[in-house]
């Protein structure tokens, strides 16, 4: 990992990543205006693509995820896979039958073009990196699918920010999505979510090391806004877990070092993220989530959802306070399917942790 930025750099081992450079003769035009002259996509795959390309599944990662859905930590991969029980021989996404793809998102920091990537002038993009939207991210994934020879996905699956991209695929390119699985996501960002995420951005921008977004992407760790990123992660993590779980695990216990146990827990997660993620990407990606509205330019949410032709499963977590079940109910109603509500004490993170129930829903969808 780069010393100044927590993201992956070309100097690091590639690990299990593959890379695709989009056509350099065609700048990538963005929804909100402007263009990127070049885009590189980092992705991972499992299984073998059928000759007709008809067994491909796309998995969409969440905000601080990446293409490493499953597999151990190791060179190039600071953490183990984030949805490890879903992919593999005999798993819900059976790699003996399916060809599974996961790409790092546009604006990210794990191999796909983002603020820490090198611009044409040889310097990091930094503050010059343009605003990107969920639709832009899906457009990059569509270019990747074209390059891989995948005309239609057997299924597109994702949770949280990944669920937004899965929905964008099914709404914006219905002819290319046979099945849709969205969990712990929404059709449009709420004021509560925007407020939470802009507060996280403010924490990052208030760090003197932020330097307007143009902090060094190499050098010592102190050169990067790791303090601000750590505070942002603390705020976010409180929305990822439920109050019931935190009370049960930590209560008001004070450790020997004088810290509340829950504060120590949050500090641990803050340090982990700062070691593997770029603060600039965090700002860009949370802003993409803030601007998310599947109905923008499509006559509203319900009109947009009416475009979907995919067989769909919509799921939520009953204790999710970041993306509460009412948001998934709106999706389910708009798609004309029942809402599957997973009972979990883990809040929003239940979509990552309750892999047994998630896997059962995935198997059911793939059998349909």
Please identify every residue annotated as catalytic.
160, 320, 348
* Alpha-carbon gap, residue 26 to 21, rounded angstroms: 11
* Alpha-carbon gap, residue 85 to 93, rounded angstroms: 9
Question: Tokens 């399916």 — which residue?
Answer: 98
Cβ atoms 333, 158 nearer than 8 A: no
Among residues 9, 4, 2, 1, the alpha carbon closest in space to that of 224 is found at 4
Question: Tokens 């190499």 — which residue?
Answer: 218
Q: Which residues make Cβ contacts (< 8 Å) with residue 323, sequence separation at least 6? A: 160, 184, 185, 186, 193, 316, 348
Q: Which residues make Cβ contacts (< 8 Å) with residue 23, sequence separation at least 6? A: none
* Alpha-carbon gap, residue 75 to 211, rounded angstroms: 30
HSE-CB for 233 with a 13 A CA cutoff: 24
* Alpha-carbon gap, residue 224 to 6, rounded angstroms: 9
Write out the two tokens for 178: 């046979």
Question: Tokens 């049960």 — which residue?
Answer: 248
């Amino acid at each position: 990992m780069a010393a100044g930025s927590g993201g992956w750099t070309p100097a690091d081992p590639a690990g299990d990543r593959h890379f695709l450079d989009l056509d350099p003769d065609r700048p990538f035009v963005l929804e909100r205006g402007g263009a990127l002259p070049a885009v590189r996509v980092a992705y991972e795959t499992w299984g073998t693509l059928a000759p007709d390309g008809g067994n491909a599944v796309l998995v969409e990662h969440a905000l601080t995820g990446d293409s490493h859905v499953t597999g151990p930590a190791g060179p190039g991969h600071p953490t183990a896979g984030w949805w490890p029980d879903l992919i593999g021989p005999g798993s819900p996404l059976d790699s003996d039958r399916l060809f599974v793809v996961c790409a790092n998102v546009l604006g990210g920091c794990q191999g796909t073009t983002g603020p820490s990537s090198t611009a044409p002038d040889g310097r990091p993009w930094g503050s010059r990196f343009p605003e990107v939207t969920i639709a832009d991210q899906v457009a990059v994934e569509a270019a990747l699918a074209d390059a891989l020879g995948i005309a239609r996905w057997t299924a597109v699956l994702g949770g949280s920010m990944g669920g937004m991209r899965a929905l964008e695929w099914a709404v914006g390119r219905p002819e290319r999505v046979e099945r849709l699985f969205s969990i712990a996501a929404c059709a449009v960002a709420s004021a509560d979510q925007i407020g939470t995420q802009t507060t996280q951005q403010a924490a990052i921008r208030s760090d003197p090391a932020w330097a307007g977004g143009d902090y060094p992407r190499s050098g010592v760790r102190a050169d990067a806004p790791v303090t601000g990123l750590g505070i942002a992660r603390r705020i976010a993590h409180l929305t990822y877990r439920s109050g019931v779980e935190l009370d049960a695990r930590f209560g008001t216990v004070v450790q020997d070092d004088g810290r509340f146990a829950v504060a120590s827990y949050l500090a641990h997660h803050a340090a982990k993220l700062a070691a593997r993620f770029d603060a600039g990407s965090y700002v860009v990606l949370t802003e993409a989530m803030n601007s998310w509205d599947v109905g923008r330019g499509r006559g509203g949410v319900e009109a947009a959802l009416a475009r979907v032709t995919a067989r769909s499963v919509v799921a939520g977590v009953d204790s999710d306070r970041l993306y509460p079940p009412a948001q998934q109910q709106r999706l389910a109603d708009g798609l004309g399917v029942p809402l599957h509500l997973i009972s979990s004490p883990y809040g929003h993170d239940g979509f990552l942790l309750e892999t047994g129930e998630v896997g059962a829903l995935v198997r059911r969808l793939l059998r349909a």
